[in-house]
Amino acid sequence: MQSTSIRNWDWSIYDWSRWFDIHTVGPQAHYPGIQIQRPDVLEWYAKQGPERPIYLIERHPMVPASVSYLRDDVKAALPESVGRYGCQLDYMAATATCERFDRWILYGVGQPYVSEPDSKRAQTWMRVHGQFLWWLHVAQSRGVDVVFDGPNMFHPDVRGSEDPPAPLDGDYGYDMQSNQDFAHLKHEAREGY
Q: Per-residue pLDDT for 77 more than 60? A: yes
pLDDT at res. 13: 65
Rounded Cα distance between 172 and 56, Å, is: 12
Rounded Cα distance between 51 and 7, Å, is: 22
The residue ranges of every structural domain in the chain are 101-191
pLDDT in tens, 150-189: 889 999 999 888 999 999 888 887 776 544 454 555 544 4
| List of residues 6+ apart from 121 with CB closer than 8 A | 112, 113, 192, 193
Rounded Cα distance between 52 and 17, Å, is: 6
Question: Using alpha carbons only, how large is the chain's radius of gyration in Å?
Answer: 16
Q: Which strands sit side by side in the sheet containing 19-20, from one edge to the other?
A: 2-3, 19-20, 54-56, 66-68
Q: What are the two backbone dihedrals, phi and then psi, of residue 71, each rounded to the nearest 5 degrees?
A: -55, -50
pTM for the whole structure: 0.83
